[in-house]
Amino acid sequence: MASEIERKYLVNHQIWSTVKPKNGVLIVQGYLVNDSQKSVRIRIAGDRGFLTIKGGLEGNLRQEFEYNIPVEDAKILLDQFSESSISKIRYKLSYGDRVIEVDEFLGDNEGLIIAEIELYAVEEQPELPNWITEEVTYDKRYYNVYLTNFPYKSWEINKIRSTN
């Protein structure tokens, strides 16, 4: 059985802009199934298509199965079967013995930058670079599936910030 153990963190925009790699990959993804126990995601990352099935979270651990699919199939599934989608630019950086994936969200989620680190064990506390700030692993608002229905720009905290 495949599984994923990861932690999510917010990113300091100012420091990130000084270390951000030049090359990122555009990702567009949507969901065919989404409930508390499972999700089925379609993703186009660059010129590749993926179908991903995830189980419900148990802490920061969940079952995950991902399969390559033809990009043309992914486009059809996104266009005809997904009710909403999100887009983001993904950057990958090496840090120690890890790869950190950083997503800069676009569209209605613009302004949100999240770093994800996959772990070897649930209890692991990874070393973090100085541009990573608050952990949001257990805050469902920062899950991609949540952001498809409740975009970052619509959050009340962001409305308050933009008027100050």
Which amino acids are annotated catalytic? 31
CB contact at 8 A, 9 and 95:
no
Among 104, 82, 55, 84, residue whose Cα is nearest residue 149: 84
Give the contacts of 84 (CB within 8 A, at least 6 positions apart).
Answer: 30, 31, 148, 149
* CB-neighbour burial class of residue 147 (10 A; exposed 0-12, middle 13-18, buried 19+): buried
